[in-house]
Structure 1
């Protein structure tokens, strides 16, 4: 049996994802600021305390952070299962012996892990529908339209659509073909047709009583995640979950990068939108003495996402 790729330093992976989340959030901050500077001066405006551009931004961030929370819970649950098995073995060393048709203890543990994994999938997949709504709100003719990702992709493939000449169109098409299309099919299958499965590899040391578990991805999972993991290798669920979260964040970043290019190339940098009697946030370029979008600082921080690729 080939070696299973697993996370041997969980805190390092948790820290890496947390760092990437912070970088991606800078991109959403920048997008909202560019919207306020170039399209609709929302600074000082609010709806029940928060303008819709910020609600949409924060909705995506909520989904991302929820997926990250479940990744943490998955790692914690794995250790809890190992402690539970160790206690069972201490009380009865033969507790796992004698099962012909599969060990129910291992199967229950696997289901616990997969329930958390499924939540990661659902949260991450919904990020792209929120991203589509945010795209429509910022760049669409009808901002209030609740656009789904699949509809946004169709618009991007239509050279007569309202998005046809936008710089981010190719980014969206690339992200969809390389990742989101297959990922959304996978989510639909989990919801409507078949649950996720993994296989528990459990080992224990008789002398110390230490138990080690590895929940191996099924061939079905590897097939559905083949855009981000190698189908010829063996992975544990925690490792696959880490890659799934990381790649989702990088794909979102690629779309945001296209939106950055749209604002830089197709909007006048020193012509902020002004409201009668309102105020506008700007930065001043010390060399040109012209006003610039306050988003530029956040965009610079956001571009650090390329260091994670």
Structure 2
């Protein structure tokens, strides 16, 4: 039987580690508290620090469906909540007409807004399928009005659909919101959530992550890759500092090229796994030449 209960922060950390996600003590503790208190968890941090992966790991650890709402500029409540299948409703009307039935107006209208015509978007789907993990990704891309809508939904885990009625989660979903902090979120939403800032991991922890996720990569190569990435992050002139995801991609790419240790030729050949901007490619190649020269 699926359960979302966990005895302690350390037990949660152990469950996450089994999925390959290594949460430090601070993150494991705040996630444990959010689940125990049935409060949303707001994770902020630079891109690539493992915010989205945390929600994915929770879902995998507890055997729950992961329902993702990707936020973007201009997203509104209808796109996050529900819509009606107008095509199916029209076909239903034609079917009634063709059948020669003569239902009253009220009865016909009620049949048009039956559950089978309701298209559940991520938030409604999470309420209907709970227990589930609802990932609200990059909430900082949405606007103030959408934040206000979210606050209302997350306060009681229910929504009212005028034509249908109220849908309330039997068990509140585990809600994880992520933000890259491209703008500040409103205090009202932050007060509703438990909050944690995720930093890039330190050297030892990042090596541990690479060794856990990519056990096929030689230990020496994993250590050299992480040391190089840590030095690249420390520079001020890269447009996008590489995240853990890029570290893993680069280590895997080097391993696929047959590298047992980091050298300038293989590093330059696989630089596209680490850098996503043309300007960064030149800068990082120069940094690697200095490190490996």
TM-score clears 0.5:
no
The structure where strand makes up a greater share of residues is 2
Instruction: State the structure with bigger RCO (CA 8 A, min sep 6), 1 or 2.
Output: 1
Higher helix share: 1
Query: TM (normalized to structure 1)?
Result: 0.30
